[in-house]
Amino acid sequence: MTKNKSKKRTFQGMSYRDVQRTNSNNRVKLHQEDQAWLKENFYKNIGWNNVINLYQKIKDFLNRCQFEDLTLEELFLECDRIGNKYLTIQEIENFYQSLSREVNEIAEEIDKQFPETEIEFIDFSKNTSNIYRKKYN
């Protein structure tokens, strides 16, 4: 008689123990409030379904924390990168060409409005000899 060996179950190419280990390592990276929330909502690192649910929830928390730490400029760059995923190369090139034309037109208009070409130098290295102090009566 032959014995039927059950296939090893995996999640995203990881075994049960690997997912548990990943959960433990990533849980430490979370804020204390998020760790407490996981505990209060009974997310456990035992049992296949619980381990997978915990893995996905920790991943969501880590993604959220990643965007909280970004500056406004970095957020705009990230939005631009995500938006470019859905455009073809030709559409991206057309956009940047039209953007370049607009920026040049704006620069020319600024030069027309403020035609001053003289450069002003201010020397802050000299010490002033006059010291003004408020005198009290």
Q: Across residues 5-27, what is the average pLDDT?
A: 87
Q: Is the pLDDT of residue 23 over 70?
A: yes
pLDDT band at 113 (very low <50, low <70, confident <90, very high): confident
pLDDT band at 55 (very low <50, low <70, confident <90, very high): very high
What local confidence, expressed as pLDDT, does residue 19 receive? 92
Q: Across residues 10-27, what is the average pLDDT?
A: 90
What local confidence, expressed as pLDDT, does residue 136 receive? 62
pLDDT band at 101 (very low <50, low <70, confident <90, very high): very high
Q: What angle do CA 30, 36, 37 make, to 5 degrees?
A: 90
Is residue 24 left, alpha or beta, with left meaning phi > 0 and alpha meaning psi from -120 to 50?
alpha
Q: Is the pLDDT of residue 128 over 80?
A: no
Q: Across residues 65-86, what is the average pLDDT?
A: 81
Q: Across residues 84-91, what is the average pLDDT?
A: 88
Extents of the domains making up the chain: 10-69, 71-116
Q: Which residue has the higher pLDDT, 123 or 85?
A: 85
The percentage of the chain sitting over the pLDDT mark of 90, rounded to a whole number, equals: 28
What is the DSSP-derived secondary structure letter of residue 69?
T
Residues making up the chain, counted from first to last: 137
Q: Which amino acid is at 49?
A: N
